[in-house]
Amino acid sequence: MSINATPHVHVYDAQGRMTCCSLEEKIEIKTGPPPLRPHEEGDGHDHDHEGISAWREYLPAITSFVLLLSGIAMDEYVQPAFFRGWVRPVWYLAAYLPVGWPVLKEAVQAIGKGEFFTEFFLMSLATIGAFAIGEYPEGVAVMLFYAVGELFQTAAVRRAKGNIKALLDVRPDEVTILENSQTKTIKAESVGIGAVIRLKPGEKLALDGELLSETASFNTAALTGESKPDTKTKGDAVLAGMINLNTVSQVRVTTAYTDSKLSKILELVQNATAQKAPTELFIRKFAKIYTPVVVVLAVLLVVAPYFVVADYSFRDWLYRALIFLVISCPCALVISIPLGYFGGIGAASRNGILFKGSNFLDIMAAVKNVVMDKTGTMTEGVFKVQEVKINPGFDEKKTLAWVNTLENNSTHPVATAIHLYVGAVDNSLKFTETEEIAGHGLRAVLNGKPVLAGNFKLMEKFGIAFPAELADIPYTIIAIAENGQFAGYITIADQIKEDALATVQKLEKLGVQVTMLSGDKTAVVKLVAEKLGIKNAFGDLLPEDKVNKVKEIKSRGESVAFVGDGVNDAPVVALSDAGIAMGGLGSDATIETADIVIQDDKPSKIPVAIHIGKVTKRIVWQNIGLAFGVKAVVLVLGAGGLATMWEAVFADVGVALLAILNAVRVQKMNFS
């Protein structure tokens, strides 16, 4: 909540002492103690310590509040004889120091660093001035409510930080590994690739790996936001953060601790606050200029009337200037705005959506076009072979064997479908000159003869003739050629995701136009688009064709979000205003290249991301309007002598509290 370029907030230590840190440091996910292990919970000691710390944190404000109320009561109602002379100012000084001393100290330290225009300096100057002219209750009240505001800010940031930390930071520090049939507990970061982890029911997996047990069920809530059990079988990939549910399982580590999907997700969220939204950047620059200007105006408010007002009273005009200074603190703006964006990031994380920066919340709020890939985005990406048609003159068994072996070099879901249909790879087949042609398929040489497996564009590229009517089949087709002759084809079908239709309908209600771009056959793309109600759908596109389509949309001056795998469509992701990755848990490159990652692969999270962006932006602008509006009114009233220090307190701290409470609303909303 700084007046300077870098916002500062207060943190209270275990002894109740106020310390200063930047807002980024305060909301940094990796700060603070690591999460408790299961055996540490419920012992009572940590909870007792937290209770004592909380009591000490609020004790200075409580002490000041009690002394202030009793002082006002003696001033206005009881009026005891002893509460006169030097006793009254000493009493209020005692009420002032518990909350005022830390601020005075911070003001001196900031001035020593050359930072004059800080909230510490303004509050110190205003309250000392109030004491100097005998307005003791007002001086105490300003500092007390300022301290209460700081406590509210600390609590709000702690909540925002805790929401994300509780969702993501679930990596155990230690794991149990098997060595020579013996168990051994070691630090998770020291586990090497290839090590075998023994995972008991209820334990969290610390590293990515491959399941060695025949079957196991996992809770994936930490990664996807879904608590529904996910059953894995032998050979399936399992990820750090998953919780083993029922039986003792064994997992072979496939990725280093620092390279796990969860580690990358944690890093993504930790760095999210580094990329600021334009509104946030503007407020920072504004505060840096605004505060010194107000300080100069406050000085002029004391001096200038001397030359133009006949019955000039230094005390009256100084009081007005002090009110002016209290109001000038832009606390509500420079704390509630970043807190609002951080709350939006936290709300998205709870819904399994990871934003790489608050700027992407603004982009999603304004997005008018969602362009999406088909496979793995609106469809399951789990292909199954429907039909195999091998022409006479070709040995079907041998042809399928070499296609299966050749496709083993590809990571495309189609290759997986063929492998599941054909079975084991024939390693006796030796290919040379193997080449994957982007957007076409695979080419190689087998026993001195060229072989091809891919789409019909691949056939055309190498001059292979094929029946034209095959292009009308509304399924994905793998065309096959041997030694310059068309050998046949394999049809493969994909299933539409169950929430895909609802996704399109929700996007249309939000006023967002949906376009589907795919490298798959036009007939397949049109069939899927028809079932989903998508009017703009294009197939048979190469990566450069997708780029041209997105450029065409952007030429209308509308923002575009692209949803895909973030790897094959890298050029389109780079061109779009926001790149959204589906299948983030399956690809390291996706997490690294996309701006937004949807963890559970559900397209229904796209409208949720847009909704969160819109709500966050609305809350931020509500806070801006509230802060500017109230401050402008009270500044004018204060300069005209119509507002007291009490109104100034509301205009500063009161508005800041309202803005903070408004900002944290996004964390409690249900966006599902």
Integer CA distances (angstroms), 92 to 32, 98, 603, 636, 644, in order: 37, 11, 61, 29, 18
Residue 353 DSSP symbol = E
Residues designated as active site: 373
Helix (H) or strand (E) holding 196: strand 196-199
d(C-alpha 606, C-alpha 78), whole Å? 63
Q: How many residues are present in the chain?
A: 672
d(C-alpha 205, C-alpha 196), whole Å? 12
User: What are the φ/ψ torsions at residue 197 (nearest 5 degrees)?
Assistant: -100, 135
Which single residue is written with the structure tokens 């065409």?
A: 552
Type of residue numbered 469: E
Which single residue is written with the structure tokens 């580590």?
A: 253
As to burial, measured by CB atoms within 10 angstroms (0-12 exposed, 13-18 middle, 19+ buried), residue 178 is middle
Taken in order 309, 311, 312, 318, the sign of the CA dihedral is negative
Closest CA to 478 of 463, 498, 497, 459: 459
230: which 2 tokens? Answer: 């996910």
Over the range 462-481, which residues count as b (16 or more CB within 10 Å of their CB) and which as e? Answer: eebebeeebeeebbbbbbbb
β-strand 215-219 against 229-233: which pairing, if any? antiparallel
Is there a contact between 118 and 2 (Cβ–Cβ < 8 Å)?
yes
Q: What is the CA radius of gyration of the chain?
A: 32
Three-state helix/strand/coil letters over 603-633: CCHHHHHHHHHHHHHHHHHHHHHHHHHHHHH
Type of residue numbered 436: E
Going along 494-636, which residue ranges are E strands?
513-517, 536-538, 560-564, 578-582, 596-598
